[in-house]
Structure 1
């Protein structure tokens, strides 16, 4: 009885804390204005730090050269000119902007015709809703194979699936976002991040005169196990904390729960046929040795690297557009080209708030990068870790937490690793820790705090999506939803690393823990 009372008390304390985070966060100005305020703060801090002459010099593993970064003030002639001259390109060049808008043209058609609703109704007809959470989180983790596709596909569908199952749509967004972004490094197969980070690690090893070269598979064993582990942890956090704190859904969104008609079933069949045909054609364009979408790399290998970084988004557009057209044509929702344009226009109208928010968010992120504040913070943190004088597992844990902290200031995993790898990879190596272990420890910390930093490119996208289901949602709501995932992933993923080291398992093929 006492244990039950303690559990209830602890639950109330957790819920009260998260509710406090939400209330405080939502009392802040509109997220767009908050990014404006943060931009002004960065401008002021940059002037103060630059006046002290702060700078760092390091070997950049990506550029293969020594680089000096000085704090740059935005409150001088050059800084003011920079802010005015780049305001437009900061906005139009913001990484997720084109990605989101292009993909939404196809997603909008699939949603407008009713393809999403009918598909999900068919899938959920006999499904056990208790398995929805692990399915959504697992799909989110696996989606990082396709770069940013998870943010555009899995997160919105997570909300719809939960709503149609009678669950809170914000819980669906939170679960999907946790998988896509919090579990960004985990996967059962290799993704684009693996060769990218491993290449930087190898450059750092070469620069330090260490005769070791890692394969892109060097973290595969640990990250594959992490996929299952994070799915379990994320499911518990969603069902036991996040969804309970949200309570019953009282928003205005009403999913269509009418039975699937015979005409809709025919439309789904035609949509599936068109999807299969499209996938077969895309497979032919992507996977044969001299496929159209493969490009020749400097090392002579034909790969899909260029397509995955540029052509995948138009591919996602067609992935939704073609089945959406087949479904809409079958049920009579699409009769002429005017209907297609109306569907796309409707989806673009829903993105107007995102465009406003993106303008201010893009300025903040650009200013932070221009001032070099993130780089300076990274190096000061590195100096502190080196001065701690720890070794073994305590050093790995401290490194994970440092990576998680620095991720709050620098969103790009590769840019941050290009700065950190030349410092930490040789340092850990000399203390007996393998470069593969150092790299995977970095990936744990880097992924865990993706979901709570406004510097993450898609953070504003998630805020706008939440407001579709709850107009009162804001930055505080998202922070309170994602904080339990972030802390849990950071703590339990680190514990998994500890167990892995205790057992002595390699983190990947031919990738031992220690030298």
Structure 2
């Protein structure tokens, strides 16, 4: 799979060299960064040195939670080293996102390995009218996040096939599918494993200020639904008005089209509709159980927002995926015995093994950060600065968005970036009356927008490989020049939606006010 930075004769000679030079700098800087696992241990070392300096100078703040003085503690002291050693296992075992992501991924694995998710994506984009194929592929991209990283492997090649099937450029199909997944990664109308990870990290950050704080995996669900529709529309408009007018959309002459990738057998189609029917019945049953005010799944006083159901949403999502996978697998023959189910669930755990390894380092860093109380100091001092300077909250939002968008070009792991940023941003903004769920929603935009243009993402190179199936000479600059207009317009429109949502005071999700 070549990654040569080829510039075709049809590319703009004035613009692309600058793009390629900028991308080359990004690639060099990003390649110089250590693996996120080691990055968090390096950050832990830096944290230790900073805590020693601040502790020796007696730095402290008054906690707004209980009006008590909070003093910075030295991580490099005897007590700090003892705490780090004694709590290493507990830090990992009690790390909020870990149990959640394992449970969700066990269910997702069954749905993925049996072919349910692949069939769902195929039926979403196959057979649609020619005029709707761009929107169909783009919207399928936002829904595909339920399959996590597998979305790239499944949908990007399907996008090329779908466009080719209706007489459009397969190159454009690959670009639309890839960008809708990458730059819309945190917008999904269906709860995803990422929602569980982000909610866990946000909860731990919010508990720096409010020990009882809890952020649900569906805390951004309402705005996610609106975002996915908006981004699909933006992709459609920009593709038709900008990308479709490029003169370099024809594939290589020797490219052979094989439409079998979009074809579903009668058995698969029957299995899919049976599964969707079972899921619909499951939804009706859930509503029926939740409907009575005395339902055990409701909270105190019949509350829906503070209820066992919402707090157990991650497990419910995992069960839904598992149910879908079992029904589909049984109907299409992918599951022939009950013993197949736990085997598929184990595959899901194998898939996230690299994430669990990263979680060990993240959990230690966050535990050290909390113990030193540096987060309290930074949050309180930042909040005081915002109050005294009178900087409008929208301006703060824009600054945070710009900062995180730049960081995302180099640190493409959303969980890694949010683990670094959340302990500072969430408490600081909570102290100026910005809910943790709102800060998380803002982060989603930054974590997604620039993902499709950075060669630091392994999925950028994967998408380039699919693109090279239609044009062998395509390189990093080729793909970036296609994705850049989409990524910029998606980020801008998503930002406008966020500010409109915040201005109107619409809840971000169940029990999650935006202000």
TM (norm. structure 1) is 0.63
Quick check: 1:113–1:324 contact (8 Å CA) kept in 2? yes
Confirm whether residue 164 of structure 1 aligns to residue 158 of structure 2. yes
Q: Which residue of 1 aligns with 2:86?
A: 85
**How far is the alpha carbon of 1:439 from its aligned partner?**
10
Correspondent of 1:263 among 261, 264, 267: 267
Take 2:291 and 2:151, find their aligned partners in 1: how far apart are those partners? 28
Does the aligned pair in 2 maintain the 1:233–1:489 contact within 8 Å? yes
Give the Cα–Cα distance (whole angstroms) in 2 for the partners of residues 367 and 58 of structure 1.
Answer: 18
Counterpart of 2:315? 314
Q: Please state how far the C-alpha of 1:76 moved relative to its aligned partner.
A: 0.7
The change in CA–CA distance for 1:309 and 1:92 in structure 2 (over 3 A counts) is: farther
Residues 100-133 of structure 1 show CA distances to partners (whole Å, capped at 9, x for unaligned) of 1111111111112122222222222124642256
Name the CA distance, whole Å, in 2 between partners of 1:326 and 1:446.
36
With over 3 angstroms needed to count, the CA separation of the structure-2 counterparts of 1:294 and 1:360, relative to structure 1, is: same
Q: Which residue is 1:400 aligned to?
A: 397
Structure 1 residue 278: deviation in Å? 1.8
Residue in structure 2 matched with residue 123 of structure 1 by the alignment: 124
Aligned-partner Cα distance in 1 for 2:112–2:226:
35
CA 1:159–1:30: 2 relative to 1, 3 Å: same
* 1:80–1:463 Cα change, 3 Å: farther
Q: CA offset at residue 319 of structure 1?
A: 0.9
Does the C-alpha gap of structure 1 residues 360 and 485 become closer, same or farther in structure 2, counting only changes over 3 Å?
Answer: farther
- Conserved in 2, the CA contact under 8 Å of 1:405 and 1:449? yes
From 272, 281, 288, the counterpart of 2:285 = 281
Matched ranges for 1:136-151 at <5 A: none
Match in the other structure for 1:41: 46
* Displacement of 1:412: 8.4
Matches within 5 A, 1:340-419: 340-388=341-389, 395-401=392-398, 404=401, 419=428
1:177 is aligned to 185
Matched residue SS, 2:312 = helix
Aligned counterpart in structure 2 of residue 53 of structure 1, from 43, 46, 58: 58
**Conserved? CA contact 2:125–2:136, under 8 Å:** no
Measure how far apart 1:448 and its partner are.
4.3
* 2:334 corresponding residue in structure 1: 333
Q: 1:452 to 1:221 in 2, by over 3 A?
A: closer
Show CA shifts across 1:263-295 (max 9, x none).
212222322232222222222222332223112
Query: Structure 1: where are the runs of 5+ without partners?
Result: 141-149, 185-191, 204-218, 249-253, 426-434, 454-461, 472-476, 510-515
Q: Which residue of 2 aligns with 1:105?
A: 106
1:104-253 → structure 2 map (5 Å cutoff): 104-127=105-128, 129-132=133-136, 134-135=138-139, 156-157=150-151, 160-166=154-160, 167=174, 171-179=179-187
| Shift of residue 446, structure 1, vs aligned partner | 5.2
- What secondary structure, in the 3-state scheme, does the structure 1 residue paired with 2:296 have? coil
Deviation, 1:359, is 1.0
Name the CA distance, whole Å, in 2 between partners of 1:280 and 1:368: 44
Contact 1:403 1:442 in 2 (8 A): no
State the shift of 1:330 in Å. 1.8
In 2 relative to 1, CA 491–101 (structure 1 residues): closer, same or farther, beyond 3 Å? same
- Name the SS for the 2:292 alignment partner: coil
Supply the distance in 2 between the matched residues of 1:409 and 1:135 (Cα, whole angstroms). 25
Query: How many residue pairs were aligned?
Result: 415
Q: SS of the residue aligned with 1:56?
A: strand
- Separation (CA, whole Å) in 1 of partners of 2:74 and 2:224: 40
Q: TM-score, normalised by structure 2?
A: 0.63
SS of structure 1 residue aligned to 2:363: helix
What per-residue deviation string (whole Å, max 9, x for no partner) do you get for residues 480-512 of structure 1? Answer: 9999999878876677789x79xxx96248xxx
Offset of residue 404 of structure 1 = 4.8
CA deviations 1:238-269 (Å, max 9, x no partner) are 9989xx9xxx9xxxxx9981621122122223
Q: Where do 1:414-429 residues align within 5 Å?
A: 419-422=428-431, 424=432
- 1:211 is aligned to none
Query: Secondary structure at the residue paired with 1:48?
Result: helix
Gap regions ≥5 residues in structure 2: 1-9, 161-173, 193-198, 211-219, 252-257, 405-416, 451-455, 466-475, 507-515
Question: What SS does the corresponding residue of 2:61 show, helix, strand or coil?
Answer: strand
Deviation, 1:350, is 1.9
Pairwise CA distance, 1:27: 3.2
In structure 2, do the counterparts of structure 1 residues 14 and 232 end up closer, same or farther at CA, with 3 Å as the change threshold?
A: farther
CA shift for structure 1 position 35: 1.9
Matched residue, 2:510 = none
User: Contact 1:71–1:371 (CA<8 Å) still a contact in 2?
Assistant: yes
Distance 1:75 1:58 in 2: 23
